[in-house]
Structure 1
């Protein structure tokens, strides 16, 4: 795995990939953080891997996909759906893993956001594990060199949030209006409005935990590698310095260094 320092990375355009199951997953789990990263001049991509057609006609599916693309554009992100669209559960098999590997290797992200494997939704769990496996296999094949940090995001109140204890918070108060708009158009009709309201409830709760108005919570899956000051700080914290908050009362330690508030 290539060990790249933060200073070296800041000399190029940072790439961020969010990987989720269904069409609203990345928007809901980390849409606010993605919008802030776009405003910090990062290139952000949403990858959804389990968007089945759920008995939609080809015409309905075309409208459905256009709505997802529009919502991603509102956040300033690229968007891609991969895999079969048949009405069946996500298997997370070798083929599914290879599809994710292909996108990881093509995009070469510096930061990755993915689903939390203790989610109560069976497809969320499979997508989380398949994503982990795809990252591992691409590194093992020496085709993925750029990932510096990996973060897990939470889904809705009846899914991940019951089992999710954040390591850090991102203050999304300044972009919540844009995120709310994106979620409203992500799924047409009343479902979009319900999705936006559910997200509002979630980020208001997390914001209360962090002493903020609206916040998204994340767990650290992979810290930067290496030693020394250049490799010892999170790129995410550097990019979103004004919005970054550690969860808990003390800085998070790792390696031979400690983060300072």
Structure 2
């Protein structure tokens, strides 16, 4: 299968669904990590041009740890909007991946980039298989079949998982993937007084407590027409 994570920023995937992606990779599935923005304005010292290059290098290192393909459309950080231009970019991401499973942000997550990426995934879903959508650079892929799963919100706020994945055996690699994002870890400690690794581990432990294992990731499947609702597809 083709497994696609579409997140707004570098490190979002690592925090919210990397343990599950690692399980798919170990089973021999094709895994793709799409980072919609370049993450370039999160630092208060390093200018965006330099910061974007750093964040891409870190994202590539994390993807390489599990043999995942990195998709980097480089939308300006903090400038995600559900407009026609960005929807067409999202359609191309979906066509490149031709996914069986899509992981993306919950529609109610805390950051507008997260919320709009979620909306763009929903809006582009039905257009990925249509041959006459405007100015697409890639040919259409399968029109249906993909299942969309919403990832947990950051810190699990206002999110009740409907399905869990046991990531106990993949947690250490998930942690290594997050450690690749050195610039963000440093900035979050300095500016937000947040230890990202500790935050991620706490959330994984809490979801594991609910799921009956040491570490888990929680998801909600989008229940909608033409989404293959008769089977569970998570590992």
* TM-score with structure 2 setting the length: 0.83
Point out where structure 1 has 5 or more consecutive residues left out of the alignment. 1-13, 241-261
The runs of at least 4 consecutive aligned structure 1 residues that moved more than 4 Å come to 139-142, 222-227
Evaluate the alpha carbon distance shift between residue 208 and residue 74 of structure 1 in structure 2; reply closer, same or farther with a 3 A threshold: same
Distance (Å, rounded) in 1 between the aligned partners of 2:32 and 2:130 = 23
Larger radius of gyration: 1
Compare 54-63 and 166-175 and name the one that shifted more.
54-63
C-alpha distance after superposition, 1:120-166 (max 9, x if no partner)? 22221111111110112224558341633221101311xxx211111
1:141-152 aligned within 5 A: 143-145=140-142, 147-152=145-150
Deviation at 1:211, TM superposition (A): 1.4
Residue 209 of structure 1 aligns with which residue? Answer: 210
Aligned residues: 217
Deviation at 1:57, TM superposition (A): 5.0
Point out where structure 2 has 5 or more consecutive residues left out of the alignment. 133-139, 190-194
Secondary structure of the residue aligned to 1:89 is: coil
Secondary structure of the residue aligned to 1:233 is: coil
The answer on whether the counterparts of 1:148 and 1:224 sit within 8 Å (CA) in structure 2 is no
The answer on whether the counterparts of 2:39 and 2:51 sit within 8 Å (CA) in structure 1 is no
Evaluate the alpha carbon distance shift between residue 215 and residue 191 of structure 1 in structure 2; reply closer, same or farther with a 3 A threshold: farther
Q: CA RMSD in A?
A: 2.5
Residue 16 of structure 2 aligns with which residue? Answer: 29
Deviation at 1:37, TM superposition (A): 0.3
Distance (Å, rounded) in 2 between the aligned partners of 1:226 and 1:68 = 29
1:137 aligned onto 2:127:
yes
